[in-house]
């Protein structure tokens, strides 16, 4: 078996810090969504570990669902450039207060298109929590409602995030050695 930790020797966010981040976010979300119909909408695949840790720390009821989407095209930002591979399964999602759970925001295209798409489908209550945010990379304006941590412009992997489908299983966020040149 290949030891992937050899290829990701720089740890940016440790397991302990990830634990503290999800604890803080779960407390904020539990406070803000008390008495509402919270549906956590995880964006596959990157958000799975973040979602799993976040949901078990909530102190309010919540449903979960998933979408798999990607943005394509670099021209105008419209929901027409959103490719949906897996759609929400929940019937009548407009009955819910949807909180999109994302791993990382980079250009901002995916979430800008996805939130617009959901609102066009009649879902009024759509907000976003992202584990990581790279604000310096933004190409379209998008501001998440909850942020785990802002990071500089590094390519990061682990805790759900991949490079070419590798490294998702690492329990921390790290910078792969090939990307750690700055």
Q: Does 107 bind ligand IMP (CB under 6 A)?
A: yes
Q: What, of ligand IMP, Mg ion, none, does residue 105 touch, CB below 5 to 8 Å by kind?
A: ligand IMP
Residues of the shown chain interacting with Mg ion in the complex, contacts defined by CB under 5 A: 46
Cα–Cα distance for residue pair 43/165, rounded to 1 Å? 15
- Tell the burial category of 61 from Cβ atoms under 10 Å away from its Cβ (0-12, 13-18, 19+): exposed
Regarding beta strands 126-133 and 97-105, do their DSSP bridges make them parallel or antiparallel, or are they unpaired? parallel
Q: Does 81 bind ligand IMP (CB under 6 A)?
A: no
Our CB check for Mg ion shows the closer of 46 and 108 to be 46
Q: Does 7 bind ligand IMP (CB under 6 A)?
A: no
Residue list 123-182, contact with ligand IMP (CB under 6 A): 155-157, 161
Q: Does 106 bind ligand IMP (CB under 6 A)?
A: yes
Cα–Cα distance for residue pair 147/80, rounded to 1 Å? 27
Q: Name the nearest CA neighbour of 11 among 175, 148, 181.
A: 175
Tell me which residues are annotated as active site.
Answer: 106
């Amino acid at each position: 078996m290949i030891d992937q930790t050899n290829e990701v020797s720089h740890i940016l966010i440790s397991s302990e810090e990830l634990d503290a981040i999800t604890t803080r976010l779960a407390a904020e979300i539990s406070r803000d969504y008390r008495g509402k119909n919270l549906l956590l909408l995880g964006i596959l695949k990157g958000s799975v570990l973040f979602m799993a840790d976040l949901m078990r720390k909530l102190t309010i009821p919540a449903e979960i669902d998933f979408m798999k989407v990607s943005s394509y095209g670099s021209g105008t930002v419209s929901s027409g450039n959103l490719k949906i591979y897996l759609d929400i399964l929940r019937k009548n999602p407009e009955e819910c207060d949807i909180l999109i759970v994302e791993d990382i925001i980079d250009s901002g295209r995916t979430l800008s298109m996805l939130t617009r798409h959901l609102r066009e489908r009649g879902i009024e209550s759509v907000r976003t929590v992202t584990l990581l945010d790279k604000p310096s990379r933004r190409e379209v304006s998008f501001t998440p409602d909850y942020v785990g941590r802002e990071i500089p412009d590094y390519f990061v992997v682990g805790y759900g995030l991949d490079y070419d489908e590798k490294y998702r299983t690492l329990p921390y966020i790290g910078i792969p050695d090939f990307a750690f040149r700055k």
